[in-house]
Structure 1
Amino acid sequence: MSDGSEGQPRWGAVPLERGLWRFALWAPSARAIHVLLDGARHPLSKDDAGWHSADIAAEAGATYLFERDGETFPDPASRFQDGGVGAASMLVDPAAGLRDVAWAGRPWDSAVILEIHVGTFTAEGTLAAAAARLPALARLGITAVELMPLGQFEGARGWGYDGVLPFALHPAYGTPDELADFIAAAHANGLMVLIDAVYNHFGPEGNVLSALSPAFFDTSRQTPWGAAIALDRAPVRAFFLQNAEMWLRDYGADGLRLDAVHQLEAHDSTDFLHELGRRVGAMDLGRPVHLVTEDERNLASYITGEGAIRAQWNDDYHHAVHCLLTGESHSYYAPFAVDPFGDLVTALAEGQVDQGQPRPAGAEPRGEPSGHLPPACFVNANQTHDQIGNRALGDRLIALSELGAAKVMHALLLLSPFVPMLFMGEEEGARAPFRFFTDFEGGLAHAVREGRRSEFPEFADHKQAIPDPNAVETFEASRPYASPAPDAKTWRALTAHLLDLRREKVLPLLRSGWIDSRVSRLGDRTLHARWGFRDGLLDLTMSLEGPAPDLPDDVAEIFHMDGGDAGMRVGKGAIA
């Protein structure tokens, strides 16, 4: 059975009609594959391309395993597990997840994203509990939630980037039905849902594909996580293309954030991204679909502002803000610490800072010109799970910087025309850390613990100060809403006011069409940004030196904060 794209069968178990399922697995080096189902052993037929398949009678809810050379494995494309990553897989009817909710989606330029880790977002750590918080987010002005990876990983606790069963919902978060209910609830509250998808590697525990289908990997090319995934092979690409379609079609998600796409293919190839964009763009879902990439290469050529690939995470913006507010200069911050305010000016004017030009502090040139792209092609953030959690202690930017300056940068983020993203808790000034946590055992737990502690040479004499990733206390300390900050109400009011202004003043300009960007540095830490749109001008003046100089008389809003000011003016009428 073809899925209609490049003649590749559907991975895993797919219902054909009531009571009949097609099982398929690509394992070209295997002589024979069997399915163990309901106490019976069913042989699969192998074709010349290395696909093993058979149509077998079964009902949804039944459990099954694949067998190769006498060893049993769960389905790599399992939709749900009857236990951990090594347990039997469960038959799930994709149609059961569909919800009849009138939802036409949202245009990308309306996105205000809150990044969420389901396990720490609520005390329960479930999708059902998270759904109850969606109305409050919508009232605040959030228009999209981005869920950190949902695919199943070893243990109960983790960030999700160590997933090994990318089609299977991690059971600690709930059932497939509860994910569908969460997305339906988000849509009912006017919120888009983006899902973080990891297509560049598998985790260290429970990677069944390495044994079932070794040809899935390219051992000639190594990544930070081991052998690269062989995306030059059509069945391998089909695995991930079908996964993307599952989240969007079967569960109703509005888009995907694609993790570390610089590790997807060798060198500067973007073939898989283009294929994914075409496939997703061709889906007839009755709503727009949005793909967002994380790309350390700063390649801008595949981000056009059109089609399904909408934007990139703009870590350059984050790094400039972080160095500006903290003065840190280690590791990848080094080139941004030389003139962070100058880099911030560049980021506001042109999106990315690194565009292939020579950079200071010995940094290797990277990137492509990006100033021709509309601001909505970049997702800007002051805090993300990566930039908080990959610190030794998981401390947030607000805990590292002066409070007034942090509020000024909060205003700049939410009022500028780029797509803003907050990390859960940031909307109310949370100080709780977000730490790296896992749930491994034995030798792997020891290796992860020691590897984590060796990452930070500044803690060489105090390694015990770095939290043990496997300790449940490390996980529990990462709940942003468990103990709200004393000024949480003030922060929420500021966030709500800024997002009201964004909706009323900025969004109409964004929708009219971007024309150009001009950003001027007025002092050591004062700037004036002017973005031209078909329906008018957006002016932002920001200063971390005290009162912003020469604010026009008709500035609509001025935010006076200890440590700096921010002002906004929206010009009326069209410009040439």
Structure 2
Amino acid sequence: MTSSTTETQWGPVWLDDEKVRFRVWAPGTDQLSLRIDGSDVAMQRDARGWFAVEQSGVAPGAAYQFVFPDGFTVPDPASRAQQGDVHGPSLLTDPKSYQWQNADWNGRRWEEAVFYELHVGTFTPEGTFRAAIEKLPYLVELGITAVELLPVAQFGGNRGWGYDGVLLYAPHNAYGSPEDLKALVDAAHGHGLMIFLDVVYNHFGPDGNYLPKLAPEFFHPERHTPWGGAIAYEKPDVRPFFIDNALYWLDEYRFDGLRLDAVDHVHDSDSTVEILVEIAQRIRAAFPGRHVHTTTEDNRNITALHERGPDGEIVLHSGEWNDDFHNAAHVVASGEVESYYEDFADQPLKQVARILAEGFAYQGEPSKHADGEPRGESSAHLPPTAFVDFLQNHDQVGNRAYGERLVSLSDPGVLRVLTAVLLLSPHIPLLFMGEEWGETNPFFFFTDFHGELADAVRKGRRQEFAKFLHFRDEENVIPDPNEEDTFARSRIDWSKAENSDWLPFYKELLKLRQEKIVPLLAEAAGNSGTVVVSEDDVLAVDWEFGTKRLSLRANLSGETATVPPAIGSILFSEPKTIGEANAGTLPPHSMFYALDDR
């Protein structure tokens, strides 16, 4: 399925079983040739700078490149697969070659989502799509309903997080072939799992991006993101590159949804319909018979992309990654208040309560970390399911200097309380791979760059942490992102799951979530949450779902605390010895959820 006319369509198109049209937008040159299987063929240029040529007698697996008049060769920016790295030839693929085993899969409802975020390269010892298939039954048994892959678009080198992708249509071949990725999606569906893909539309990586040479107009030279020149989304030849990409992953690969990375850096104010809105609209129009969901990561705390319709239906994007929940909970768990955590240093538990009841902590208040600038807007009118919450994710672990996980930074009692709060709240929960068994292996920031680029990344990483007191000591050397050992040490250790005290705890909570919390969420509406006035170290929130009320009470302090009474019977408590919901006190590091059906 493609959203564009032929005139703006990127990438090769099969016209019949042996004939392919090759097209690329290259207004930066007057001449361009196609080199396919060693032979060069001149391409025809139109007035807008699109080059095209049709070739007969070709087959899947054929290698091709685009050749400039001086002999310089580049891969197809919309390559579907690479023969080798990002600098070499692209490969023709047959989009219909894979035989789907679960073709009738239509997905699952949004309120059923429990996300499990994983990095393909470090999720298994093999680090491949095929190896990940073997772990899917484990995820089902855990209680996961939605697998989320970190970006898999081809990036420079073999090792990386994936956020420096440059060939956004090509699965990274260090993980496997396009057929291997389709097999992973297919297998997930066979196990009843949704599977999502993280996509990056805010920038291209620094290694292997040839779009500036082919099409300088693809970017705004006068505007920049933290990672390079800003993309000119408003241009009719640029825009389909991203819209078609979103549809491509959902159609050809049958992903159930996408996570759009750092959309606060997708600036498209010059377009009549902002591209983030159009992507959502096109997706919802293209797949009316499937449950397809999209989430966004957005530091602005805005609500326009997640507004619901008159009957509470999702109109654009399904949910927002809620950094506010993580940040406030992290301060509660670890006591850290440096960098962006300074915004949550003052009464972090009160902020957790507001987040759970209303969505965001910052709804227009000034941010210390942003030099006093206001951040966010009112969010209470959105249903709790519009927010994806987490205690850990790739960013929040990997962007630490030493990649420590929260289990290494927090009191176990506090962490158990926060975990139960997360997994039974009416927000959508997300786990980071290994979190459920208390994984202590770090997850570092790692890359596979060389030469000057490697030096720049290494230096930048160390400068990033120079402002932290702990890392001003020369003995505290930040791991080199380009060392293979940095990547190897980031693999999760599956042997730890066998005797983990954490794993049964997570399984119990996730089973209870599907049985008791998910049925409530069909009636989850805006303004359903209320913060109940309580002591400083007490978390007290009520939610209304039609005739039912869900109540949370938690004591995060080291002393017995008075808590507001809750109506109904206890659904879950930590520890198990907690008595009646209206008893009025809680011991240290304890909590309960109570459910009342009036």
Q: TM-score, normalised to structure 2's length?
A: 0.92
Report the Cα distance in structure 2 between the residues aligned to 1:526 and 1:324, rounded to whole angstroms: 11
Report the Cα distance in structure 2 between the residues aligned to 1:463 and 1:164, rounded to whole angstroms: 36
Report the Cα distance in structure 2 between the residues aligned to 1:521 and 1:399, rounded to whole angstroms: 32
* Amino acid across the alignment from 2:42: P
* Amino acid across the alignment from 2:289: G
Q: CA deviation at 1:557?
A: 2.1
Counterpart pick for 1:518 among 530, 544, 558: 530
Closer/same/farther in 2, CA of residues 242 and 66 from structure 1, 3 Å limit: same
The 3-state SS of whatever aligns with 2:174 is helix
Counterpart pick for 2:506 among 495, 501, 504: 495
Counterpart pick for 2:375 among 358, 366, 370: 366
Give the structure 2 partner of residue 569 of structure 1: 594
Report the Cα distance in structure 2 between the residues aligned to 1:92 and 1:271, rounded to whole angstroms: 32
Question: Is 1:356 aligned with 2:364?
Answer: yes
Report the Cα distance in structure 2 between the residues aligned to 1:3 and 1:319, rounded to whole angstroms: 39
The 3-state SS of whatever aligns with 2:355 is helix
Give the structure 1 partner of residue 284 of structure 2: 281
Higher mean C-alpha deviation, range 62-71 or range 130-139:
62-71
* Amino acid across the alignment from 1:42: V
Give the structure 1 partner of residue 252 of structure 2: 250
Higher mean C-alpha deviation, range 464-473 or range 431-440:
464-473
Report the Cα distance in structure 2 between the residues aligned to 1:60 and 1:530, rounded to whole angstroms: 58
Give the structure 2 partner of residue 471 of structure 1: 483
Closer/same/farther in 2, CA of residues 14 and 345 from structure 1, 3 Å limit: same
Report the Cα distance in structure 2 between the residues aligned to 1:460 and 1:268, rounded to whole angstroms: 44
Report the Cα distance in structure 2 between the residues aligned to 1:324 and 1:108, rounded to whole angstroms: 29
Q: CA deviation at 1:351?
A: 0.5
Residues 135-164 of structure 1, C-alpha deviations (whole Å, 9 max, x = no match): 110111100011000011111111011111
Q: CA deviation at 1:527?
A: 1.9
Higher mean C-alpha deviation, range 311-320 or range 540-549:
540-549
Higher mean C-alpha deviation, range 510-519 or range 250-259:
510-519
Closer/same/farther in 2, CA of residues 6 and 370 from structure 1, 3 Å limit: farther
* Amino acid across the alignment from 2:298: D
* Amino acid across the alignment from 2:23: A
Native 8 Å contact 1:80 1:92 kept in 2:
yes
Q: CA deviation at 1:554?
A: 2.2
* Amino acid across the alignment from 2:145: T
Give the structure 2 partner of residue 49 of structure 1: 48
The 3-state SS of whatever aligns with 2:51 is strand
Segments of structure 1 that go 5 or more residues without pairing to the other structure are none
Native 8 Å contact 2:566 2:594 kept in 1:
no
Report the Cα distance in structure 2 between the residues aligned to 1:47 and 1:143, rounded to whole angstroms: 48
Counterpart pick for 1:427 among 422, 436, 442: 436
Q: Equivalences for 1:103-142 in 2 at 5 Å?
A: 103-142=105-144
Give the structure 2 partner of residue 346 of structure 1: 354
Native 8 Å contact 2:568 2:597 kept in 1:
no
Native 8 Å contact 2:568 2:596 kept in 1:
no
The 3-state SS of whatever aligns with 1:173 is coil
Give the structure 2 partner of residue 79 of structure 1: 80
Matched positions, count: 571
Q: CA deviation at 1:128?
A: 0.6
Give the structure 2 partner of residue 16 of structure 1: 15
Native 8 Å contact 1:355 1:366 kept in 2:
yes
Q: CA deviation at 1:34?
A: 1.2
The 3-state SS of whatever aligns with 1:172 is coil
Report the Cα distance in structure 1 between the residues aligned to 2:264 and 2:14, rounded to whole angstroms: 35
Counterpart pick for 1:301 among 299, 304, 310: 304
Q: CA deviation at 1:3?
A: 4.4
Report the Cα distance in structure 2 between the residues aligned to 1:109 and 1:346, rounded to whole angstroms: 21
Report the Cα distance in structure 1 between the residues aligned to 2:459 and 2:513, rounded to whole angstroms: 45
Q: CA deviation at 1:295?
A: 0.7
Native 8 Å contact 2:268 2:275 kept in 1:
no
* Amino acid across the alignment from 1:47: D
Closer/same/farther in 2, CA of residues 521 and 117 from structure 1, 3 Å limit: farther
Report the Cα distance in structure 1 between the residues aligned to 2:539 and 2:524, rounded to whole angstroms: 24
Give the structure 1 partner of residue 571 of structure 2: 556
RMSD of aligned residue pairs (Cα, Å): 2.0
Q: CA deviation at 1:535?
A: 4.7
Report the Cα distance in structure 2 between the residues aligned to 1:194 and 1:437, rounded to whole angstroms: 22
Q: CA deviation at 1:437?
A: 0.5
Report the Cα distance in structure 2 between the residues aligned to 1:334 and 1:253, rounded to whole angstroms: 37
Residues 187-226 of structure 1, C-alpha deviations (whole Å, 9 max, x = no match): 1111111100001111111111121111111111011111
Give the structure 1 partner of residue 234 of structure 2: 232
Q: CA deviation at 1:8?
A: 4.4
Give the structure 2 partner of residue 169 of structure 1: 171
* Amino acid across the alignment from 2:521: L
Give the structure 1 partner of residue 386 of structure 2: 377
The 3-state SS of whatever aligns with 2:569 is coil
Native 8 Å contact 1:8 1:234 kept in 2:
no
* Amino acid across the alignment from 2:421: L
Percent identity reads 45
Give the structure 1 partner of residue 519 of structure 2: 508
Higher mean C-alpha deviation, range 475-484 or range 205-214:
475-484
Native 8 Å contact 1:345 1:521 kept in 2:
no
